[in-house]
Structure 1
Amino acid sequence: MGKARYFDQRFVPALEAFNYILYKYPASDKINQAKVWREKTNIRLENDELAIKNLKRLLRQEDLEGQDLADATSMLAQAYINTKSLDSAVTQLEIAANATKSNDERGRYRFIQGQLYNKLGYKDSANIVFDAVIALNRKTPRMYMISAHLEKIKNFDYNNGDKLLLAELLEDLETNRENRPFLDKIYHVIGTHYLKNQSVELASRYFNKSLQTNTRDQKLKARNYEILGDMTFDKRLYADAGAYYDSTMANLKLNSKPYRIIKRKRDNLEDVIYYEGIAKVTDSILSLANLSEAEKLTYFEKYVIDLKEKAKAEEKKQEALKRNAGLATVNNQVGNKAPGLGGAGVPGKSAGFYFYNPTTVAFGKNEFLKVWGDRPLEDNWRWSNKAQSSGGNTAGTTGEIAANASEEQRFNPQFYISKIPSDTKVIDSILKERNYAYYQLGLIYKEKFKEYNLAKNKFQELLQSNPEERLVLPSKYNLYKIYDILGENDEATIAKTDIVATYPKSRYAAILTNPDTVDSKDENSPSTLYENVYDIHLAQDYETVIAQSEEHIITFDGEPIVPKFELLKATALGRLYGFEDYRKAINYIAVTYANTPEGQQAQRMANDMLPKLESKEFVNDSVSDHFKVIFKFNRAKTDKIETFKTTLDEVLKNVRYYKLKSSVDVYDTNTTFVVVHGLQNAQVAKTFRQILLDEDAKKIKAPFFVVSSKNYQILQIHKNLDTYLSLNNP
C-alpha cells in the first residue's frame, strides 16, 4: 500500500503507511525495506536532512548487506546530492554499486558517480567510473554504456590525448546499428568534437543531424539550436542566427534563466540585423554608383544573361509540369479502377497506393507548386517571407528591381543602369546613412556583444569613408578604447595622441589627458546634461526643455543619449502644446529610433496609450468624486503667481475637515493654473470660499472655476479650456 501510494505521488499517505509498518511490525523481515522507503518518501517531500539523519542511524544500528545496503546507501546518496554534498554522495554510491545484486542498478549508480566526479572536477576519477560502466556492456541498459562513452569523450584532453583513437571511437558509435536510439546525443557530441577542432562546417552538419533525429530531449534540442545560432552569428548571418535563437527559446522553459539569456541575445540581434541590412544595401548601391559606365554595362549584361538562362530553365520546368498535369488529368478521366484491376504504376505494386503511381505523384507535385510555389526542402518551408541574412547585397537589391520590371525591362541592361542613383545629393544621403549604420554597428558590437574585433573593423571602415564630422571624434575615441581592451598598445597610443592633438578642447581629450581627475559625470557629459534638462522639465520650463533638447540632439547625434532627449522633448511639447504635437513627436521617435529602448517605448505608447488619450469629449462631473479648484493667471506674471500660491497655502492650512493642497501647473505658453487639490464633492468645490475662514476668504479674491480630475486631465492634454468653460458657464 505504501509503495502504491508512493508511485501514485501521494507521498503523505505513503509516509503514514510506512510509519504504520514501523510502529505495528517492528520484528518484520521487511522492516529495513520499510525504513528505506520511508526515507525515500521523505526525500520526495524535500525532508532531506531528516532522511539523512534516519538513514545514517539505520546504517549504524543495523548490519545491512546486499540489496538492503544498496537501497539504503543509494537513497542516502540522493539526499546528499539534494543538499549539495556531492563528495559524500560519491562515497555512498560506491557502496551501493558494490552491494547491489542488479547490474542495471550498478550501471546507473556508476554512471551517476561519474557525473558527480565531473561536477567536482575529478575527470580522471570520472573516466575510471565510466570505464566500469562500459565494461558492463550488455549486462546493463545500453543507455548507460552509450552515455558513459559520451561523457568520456567530453572529458577528452585535446592537448595530450590520442585524437586518432577518439575519431575511431566516434565513427564506431555513429555507425553501430544498435546505437540508433541514441544518435541524437551521439551526433551532438560528434558536433562538439568537430567544433573544438575548428571544423565548423562538419560541426554544423552534425548538430543539424542531431536535430533531424527528432529527439524528444528538449534540452538537447535547445542546446543544438543555440550552438548553431552562435555559429551562424559568428558568420555574421544575423537573421539566420535570430531564427536559431527563436527555436532555442521554443525548447526552453518560459522565463527560466536560460530562456532569459537567449531572449536577451535575440533581442540584441534586432539592432544588428537592422543596421547590417542598411549597411549592405547602401554598400551595394554605392559600389554600383562608383562603377564607370562601361563597368556598369558589363555587370548588367552578365546579370541579364543569367536571368535569361534562368527564365529558359523555368520555362522548360513549367512545360514539363503541364505535361505531367495532362497525364494526370487523362488518368483521372479513365476512372478510378478497383484496386485489383491494375493500372499504370510500379510493376508488381498495387495501383491503389498513391506513391506507386508516377502520374498521380506528378499531379500532386504540380498541385503543390500551384499552391506553395517552388519551395526548398528545409525547416519551416511554409513561411512565405523568411528573413534572409544576405538581404541587402547587390544581387538581392537588383533582384527586387527585376521582380517588379516588365518582361521587356527585365532583359535590358540599361533599365538597371537607370536605377542607379547619379545625383550627388542622393549619393551623399546614402553615404551618410551607410556611415551612421557603421557607427551604430560599431557601438553594438563593442557595448552589447563585446565583439571588439568586429567593432574595430566597423569603426575603421567608417573613418576611411569620409564620414560627417559628428561621427569622427566618437569613432576615434571608441577605437582607442577597443585598442586598449585588445592590448594593442601602439595603436591605442596613436589614437590617443590624435584625439588630444586634433580635439584638445573636447570632453574626450579631457578624459584621456586626466583620466583620474575627470569625473564620469562632468558638467559636459551627456548624462549630466540630460539630468540638467530633466530638472528644468520638472520645473515646468518647457520652452527651455525643448530648446536645450534640440541643441543636445544635434551635439550628441549618433550617441545613445539622443533618443532620451527626444523623448523628453516630446513630453515637453505635449505639456505645452497639447495632444497633436505630442502624438507627432512620439510617432517620430517610434519610427526614427525603432531599435532603441526609447523607440520601442514610444511604439508601445503609440499603440496603447495614445488611443486612450485621443478623445476630447468631457465627461459628466456627476460620475466623478475628485474635483479641483482652478485659478487662472497670465504665465508672464510669475511674481503674482508665487505670491498668490504662498497666500493660498497659508489659507488652506486653516481649512477644517478637508486635507487640501495646491500646485502650480503650466497650461500653455500664455497661461498658468494655480490648482487646489483634495475636494471630493462638486458642490463644495463650487462654494470653495465658504469653507475658508472669514478672514482667509478675504485674502483669496481671484476668480476660479471648478473641474473634475478627469476633465482637468482632458483639458490639459487637448488644451481645450475655452470649450470646457463655454460648456460649463454658458
Structure 2
Amino acid sequence: MINNRFSKDSLVIRKIFVLAFLGLVACSSEKNTPTSRAYHNVLAKYNGYFLAREKTKEVENNIVKAHKENYNRILEIYQPISAATETSIKPLTEEIVKKASIPVQRHKYSKWVDDSYLLIGRARYYQADWENATTTYRYVYGKAKGKDEKSSALIWLLRTYVSAGEPKMASIARSVLEKEAPTFSKANTRDYHLTMAFYHYKLREYKEVAENLDKALPLMRRGEARARLYYALGQIRQKQHADSAAYKSFRAVLKNNPSYELSFYTKLNLAQVTSVSDEKGKKRIRKYFKKMLKDEKNEEYRDRVYYEMASFELKQGNVPKAIEYYQTSLRQKTTNPNQKAYSYLRLGEIFYDKLHRYPQAKEYYDSTITAPLDTNEENYAAILKRQKVLGDFVREYTIVQREDSLQRLAAMDTATLYATIDKMVAGDIARDKEDARRKEREARKAASGGGNGSSMFDNKNGLGFNSSSDDGNSDTKWALSNPAAISAGRAAFLQKWGNRPLQDNWRRSKKDSAPMQEENNPSANATEEPKDSPTDTANKSEKATEKTDDGKGKTTKAAAPERNRSAYLKDIPFTAQALAASNEKLRPALYNLGKIYRQKLEEPDNAATTFEHFVEKFYEDEKTPEVLYFLYLIYKEKGMAEKQEVCKQKLLKDFPKSDYAGLLRNPNYLVEKKAQEAQAEKDYAVAYELYEQNRMAEAEIAVNKLRDNYPETVIMDKIVLLQTLIAGHTLAPSDYVTRINEFMKNYPKSKLIPLAQEMNAVAVRVASGQSAVTSISEATSTSNEPSTSLSPYKLDLEKPHYFLVILPVGKIRNTEAMEKISEFNSIYYPERTFTVNDMLINDKYFMVRVWDLPTKIQALNYLKKQKSEKGALSEDYPKLEKHYLLMTADNLKIFYKSKNIKEYEDFFNKHYNLNFE
C-alpha cells in the first residue's frame, strides 16, 4: 500500500513539474499568447512598474520638502527643482530608470510597458535631462496603444519643453493638446489644465493661468497641493484687483487642510482682500493683525505681519503709517532673508512713485539689491535699472542743489546772508537737541528691557516720519546693521559737518586742539577774498564772541551759532574764480539732471524747469541747442504752443547751423545728414589714399572738393589737417608752422590735437635749423612714421592684415575669448567669413587672431569697433588687460619669433593712427 501510494505521489509531482516547465516555456518573453501576457503583466507590474512608481512618489515628495516658498511672489504651479535638490535626488531617479526598464526589456508584451516609459520620462525630467525626456515622450506618443498613455505623454512633453525653455516647441505641443483635450480622461484633463497653467505662468500670462487653475482645481484631491494652488489663484486675483474672487480662493485654501505656514500667509492675505467700507471695518482688520502679532506661534513671522500691516495702510492711503510699519518690519528678526528685500523695495517704491523723494528712494533701492532680492523676481531687471537711474539722479541732483544754494547765498547782502545762515544754525542746534533727547529716551527703553531701537528714519536726516512700533521686542541695533541707514547717515554727516578728524568735543567753539580751529577758520585760506568779505566779517565776529564768557572762563551758549557760521561761509563762491568753479560743476549737472527727468523718470514738468534753468544760466554753452530742442518737444507734448514757438525761434535764429535747427526745418534732416557723413568718410578715405601714395596734386584736388561738398561735416578737422599735411610738401617751414597753429586754434577739441602738436614740434625744429631733415615732407614723415631701420617690422598698408588681441593667461580662457570674437563677427559682419584661432605667446600671454582684413581701412574700422563698448570683450571684461593690434602676415612671423609685445606696439602706434585714419 505504501509503495503504491508513493508511486502515485511521485507521478503527480512529475506531472506538476512537466506542467510548470511547459508553462515557463509558454511564457517566454518572445511569446505573445494570452497565457504569456497574463504572466508578464504580473511580473512587469510588481517587479518593475510598481517599484519605479513608488520611487517616483518619493522623488516628488523630496522636491516639495526641499523647496522654500517665496510668498511675496505668485507661487509657481510646480515647485522648481534647485541644483542641490537635483543632486540629492539623482540616485533615486537612476533607480527609477533601472526599475522601469525591467518591463520594457523583459516583458515587452505586457500592458505596463507604456506606463513604464512614462516613468522613465519623468525620471529624466527630474534630472533636467531634457533631450532624453522629450525623446521618451515623443516615442510614447507615437507608439503607445492606449489613449490615456498617449495623452499623458503629450502633456508631459509640453511640460518638458516649457521647463527646457523651448517656447517654439512648447507652442507646437500646446496646439496639438488643445485639439485633443476634449477627449481626455478626468486625470489627464486635470494634468492638462495644470500644465497649461504652467505654460502661461512662464509667459506671465496670469489671466490664462487663472482660467486653467479654475478648471484644474475641482479635479484635484483635497490636501496641501490643492491648497497651495488655491493660494496661487488667490494671489493672481489679488494682483488683478479682484478682491472678492481672491477672498473666495483664500477661503478655499483653509478648507483644504494646509500646512501652518500656508495657513498663516493665507490669513494675512484674507485680511488684505476683506471688503472694508467704513472705519469700523478697518479697525477690525487692524485688530486682527495685532492679534496675530501677539500669537507666540507667529514669532518667526512678525516681519511678515508688519509688512502686511504696511500694505493694508498703503491700500487705505495712509502713507506715513505704511512707511512706519515697513520700517518696523525691517527691524524684526527673521528666518526669511527675502523679506527684508521686499520691505526695502516697497519703501523705495513709495518714495519714488508717491513722494518723488529720490535721494531716499535711492537708499532703499540700494538696500533692496544688497539684501538681496530674489533674482527670479518678475521685475528684477526693471528694479536694477531703476536703482542705477536713482544713483545717477542723486549724484546730479545733489550737485545742483548744493551749487544753486551756494550761489544764491553768495548773491545776498551781508545782513540777509547772516540772517539766513543763523536760521540754519539755529535749526541745526534744535535738531541736535532733539537727537539727544531721542537717544536718551531710547537708552532708557533699552535699560528697561524694551524699545524698538532707533533708525535713520526717526531724525531729520531720515525721511520725516517718526517711527513708533506696537512691538516691544525689536532689535535695538538695527540702524547699525542696515547699509541704507549707515550710508545715509554718513552722507548727512559729511554734508553738514565735512570730513572731520576723529576727536572729542568736535562741536565746541573752543578746543584744546589747534588743528580743528584752523580747519574751521576760512580766513586762514581766504587770501584772495575782498578785505570786507562776509567771511572776514564772520571771523571777526567769532573772535569777539570767543572773548565773551560768563565770568568763569567758559564760552557762553550764544557763541555756538556764531562759531558755526564760518563753516557755512567757507564754501560760498564770493570771488569770480570760485563762482566759475561752481558753474563748472553746475553746468553738466543741470544738463544731466534734465535728461534724467525727461528720459528716465518721465517727469516732463521737472525736466522743463531744469532745462529752463540751464538756458537762463548757460545760454552760450554748446549744449544749449539740444536743451532748447528738449524744451521744444516738452512744450509740444503739453500743448504749450507759445513756449514751443519761443524755443523754435531761438534755435532758428541763434543756432541756425545746429542739428536741432536742421530738424525743425526738415524732419528728415538727420537721415539725410547720416547718409552725407557716410559719403564724406568714403571721399576722405580716397583723398588720404592719394596722399599716402605721394600723389599730392590729386590729393589736394580731392581735399578741396571735400571742403566744398561737405562744409558742415563732422570730420572737417580731419579734412583740414590732411590739407595741412599736403601743404607741408610745398610750404616754407615757418608757413607750415603757422598753418598747424591755425588748425590747433580753430579745432581746440579735436582728437587730432596730439598729432598736430607732434607735427608742430618737428616743423619748428626744421624752421629753426635744428633738424637734419631737408624738407617739411621728411620732417612730417619722421614725426609720424619713424624710420623702420630701427625696427625689424616693415610697413605695408596694401597687404591684408590680421587682427590680434593679446590677453593674459589665466584671466580668461582662450576658448571663451574665441567664442566671443566669433559671436561679435556674426553680429557685426554677417556677410563675412573670418578665420578665428588662438596661439600661445609665452607663459604670460596668448593671442586670438582674426584673418583676414583685406584693406587698411577695413582693418582699422574692425579694430576700432573691437576697442569700443560694442567690442567682443568690452562688456564682460572691461578691466582685463587687452592689447589690440593689426599685423601683416610677414610681420606676424617676425613677431612670433621675438615675442616682444612692446616692440611691436611701438611700431603699431607710430604707423597706425586710429584718430587720423
Settle same-fold status: TM greater than 0.5: yes
Query: How far apart are residue 713 of structure 1 and its match?
Result: 1.9
* Counterpart residue type for residue 242 of structure 1: K
SS in 1 for 2:409: helix
Which stretch of the first structure deviates more once superposed, 421-430 or 177-186? Answer: 177-186
Relative to 1, partners in 2 of residues 1:708 and 1:12: Cα closer, same or farther, differing over 3 Å?
closer
Residues 189 and 24 from structure 1, CA distance in 2 versus in 1: closer, same or farther, beyond 3 angstroms? farther
CA-CA distance at 1:310 after TM superposition: 8.6
Alignment of 1:123-134 (within 5 A): 123=242, 126-127=245-246, 129-130=248-249, 132-133=251-252
Is structure 2 residue 321 aligned with structure 1 residue 202?
Answer: yes
Counting matched residue pairs gives 554
Is the Cα–Cα contact under 8 Å of residues 284 and 393 in structure 1 kept in the other structure? Answer: no
Closer/same/farther in 2, CA of residues 306 and 427 from structure 1, 3 Å limit: same
Shift in Å at residue 533 of structure 1?
A: 6.5
Instruction: Determine if the alignment matches structure 1 residue 426 to structure 2 residue 578.
Output: yes
Distance 1:309 1:192 in 2: 34
Residue aligning to 1:634 = 778
Amino acid paired to 1:57: D
Q: Work out the CA distance in 2 between the residues paired with 1:464 and 1:481.
A: 18
Aligned counterparts of 1:484 and 1:452: Cα–Cα separation in 2: 11
Q: Does 1:80 align with 2:199?
A: no
Q: 8 Å contact 2:247–2:270 — kept in the other structure? A: no
Distance 1:384 1:186, change over 3 A: closer
Letter in 2 for 1:714: D
The SS at the match of 2:479 is coil
Instruction: Quote how far apart the aligned CAs of 1:458 are.
Output: 0.9
The answer on whether the counterparts of 1:533 and 1:545 sit within 8 Å (CA) in structure 2 is: no
| 2:799–2:854 Cα contact (<8 Å) kept | yes
Deviation (angstroms), 1:71? 7.5
Q: Deviations over 1:101-154 (max 9, x none)?
A: x444442343345557789x79589537515415628x4335445545666777
Three-state SS of the structure 1 residue aligned to 2:574 is coil
Match of 1:512 in 2: 664
SS at match of 1:634: helix
Deviation string for 1:610-651 (max 9, x for gaps)? xxxxxxxxxxxxxxxxxxxxxx9825479xx9xx9xx99799
Higher relative contact order, structure no. (Cα contacts within 8 Å, ≥ 6 residues apart) = 1
| Partner of residue 711, structure 1 | 903
Q: Which amino acid is the alignment partner of residue 133 of structure 1? A: A
Q: Report the Cα offset of residue 512 of structure 1.
A: 1.7
Residue 230 of structure 2 is aligned to residue 110 of structure 1: yes
- The code of the aligned residue for 1:136 comes to K
1:44 to 114, 123, 126: 126
Write the deviation string for residues 306-362 of structure 1: whole angstroms up to 9, x where unpaired.
77789999999999xxxx9xxxxxxxxxxxxxxxxxxxxxxxxxxxxx98999xxxx
Q: In the aligned structure 2, how far is the partner of 1:111 from the partner of 1:305?
A: 55
State yes or no: 1:295 paired with 2:382: no
Offset, 1:501: 4.9
Q: Judge conservation of contact 1:533–1:548 (CA < 8 Å) in 2.
A: no
Using the alignment, how far apart are the partners of 2:634 and 2:449 within structure 1? 65
RMSD of equivalent CA atoms: 6.4
Distance in 1 of aligned mates of 2:752 and 2:94: 63
Aligned pair in 2 of structure 1 residues 486, 96: CA closer, same or farther (>3 Å)? same
2:99 corresponds to 1:17: yes
Report deviation, 1:710.
Answer: 3.7
Query: 2:265 aligned with 1:265, yes or no?
Result: no
Give the match for residue 227 of structure 1: 346
**Matches for 1:89-488 after TM superposition, within 5 Å:** 94=215, 97=218, 100=221, 102-114=222-234, 123=242, 126-127=245-246, 129-130=248-249, 132-133=251-252, 136=255, 139-145=257-263, 147-148=265-266, 162=277, 167=282, 170-177=285-292, 180=298, 182-195=301-314, 198-217=317-336, 220-233=339-352, 238-250=358-370, 251-252=372-373, 259-301=380-422, 378-380=479-481, 386-387=487-488, 404-405=519-520, 411=560, 412=562, 415=566, 419=570, 420-431=572-583, 433-465=585-617, 467-488=619-640
Q: For residues 480 and 78 of structure 1, what CA distance do their matches in structure 2 show?
A: 53
| TM-score, normalised by the number of residues in structure 2 | 0.46
Which stretch shows the higher mean deviation, 19-28 or 278-287? 19-28
- In the TM superposition, what whole-angstrom CA distance separates every residue of 1:451-508 from its partner, at most 9, and x where no partner exists? 3222122112334446545454433221112223344445434433444455455442
Give the Å deviation of 1:240.
4.0
Give the AA of the match of 1:479. Answer: L
For residues 574 and 268 of structure 1, the distance between their equivalents in structure 2, rounded to whole angstroms, comes to 40
Deviation at 1:267, TM superposition (A): 3.2
Give distance in 1, aligned partners of 2:114 and 2:747: 79
1:678 pairs with 2:890: yes
Amino acid in structure 1 at the alignment position of 2:404: D
Q: 1:508 is paired with a residue of what secondary structure? A: helix
Contact 1:300 1:416 in 2 (8 A): no
Cα deviation, residue 278, structure 1: 1.7
Counterpart code for 2:598: K
Q: Secondary structure, in 3 states, of the residue corresponding to 1:519? A: helix
Equivalent-residue separation in structure 1 for 2:309 and 2:364 (angstroms) = 20
Report the secondary structure of 2:890's partner residue.
strand
Instruction: Say if 1:265 and 1:662 are closer, same or farther in 2 by CA, change over 3 A.
Output: closer
SS of 2:481 mapped into structure 1? coil
Aligned to 1:66: none
Name the TM-score, length of structure 1 as normaliser.
0.56
Identity in percent = 17
Q: Summarize the Cα distance change of 1:502–1:355 in structure 2 as closer, same or farther, 3 Å threshold.
A: closer
CA–CA distance in structure 2, aligned partners of residues 38 and 297 of structure 1? 84
- 2 CA distance for matches of 1:25 and 1:303? 91
Deviation string 1:508-555 (CA, Å, 9 cap, x unpaired) is 23322332456374699999989637977998999999998986776x
The match for 1:532 is: 715
Alignment CA distance shift 1:24-1:386 (3 Å): same
Specify whether residues 79 and 42 from structure 1 end up closer, same or farther in structure 2 by C-alpha distance, changes over 3 A only.
farther
Q: Please list the CA deviations of residues 407-427 of structure 1 after superposition, one character each: whole Å capped at 9, or x if unmatched.
A: 977844574586344324433
Which residue identity does 2:635 align to in structure 1?
A: Y
Cα distance change of structure 1 residues 169 and 162 upon mapping to structure 2, 3 Å threshold: same
Structure possessing the higher radius of gyration over alpha carbons = 2
Q: Secondary structure at the match of 1:140?
A: coil
Extract unaligned runs of 5+ from structure 1: 62-68, 325-353, 359-374, 555-564, 579-631, 654-658, 667-674, 686-705, 720-730
- Cα distance change on mapping 1:172 and 1:635 into 2, 3 Å: farther
Q: Give how far 1:678 is off.
A: 0.9
SS of the residue aligned with 1:386? helix
CA distance in structure 2 between the aligned counterparts of 1:513 and 1:192, rounded to whole angstroms: 52
Give 1:377 deviation, angstroms: 5.6
Letter in 1 for 2:890: G
Instruction: Tell me, yes or no, if the aligned pair for 1:222 and 1:252 is still in contact at 8 Å.
Output: yes
Alpha carbons 1:131, 1:148 under 8 Å: kept: yes
Residues 458 and 196 of structure 1: CA distance in aligned 2, closer, same or farther (over 3 Å): farther
User: Quick check: 387-396 or 25-34, which moved more?
Assistant: 25-34
Separation of aligned partners in 1, 2:797 and 2:151: 82
Distance 1:206 1:471, change over 3 A: same
Q: Letter of the 1:276 partner, please give it.
A: Y
User: Does the 8 A contact of 1:93 with 1:109 survive in 2?
Assistant: no
Whichever residue aligns with residue 380 of structure 1, its letter is S
Task: Work out whether residues 367 and 484 of structure 2, in 8 Å CA contact, stay in contact via their aligned partners in 1.
Answer: no
Change (3 A) 1:77 1:684: closer
Q: 1:212 to 1:515 in 2, by over 3 A?
A: same
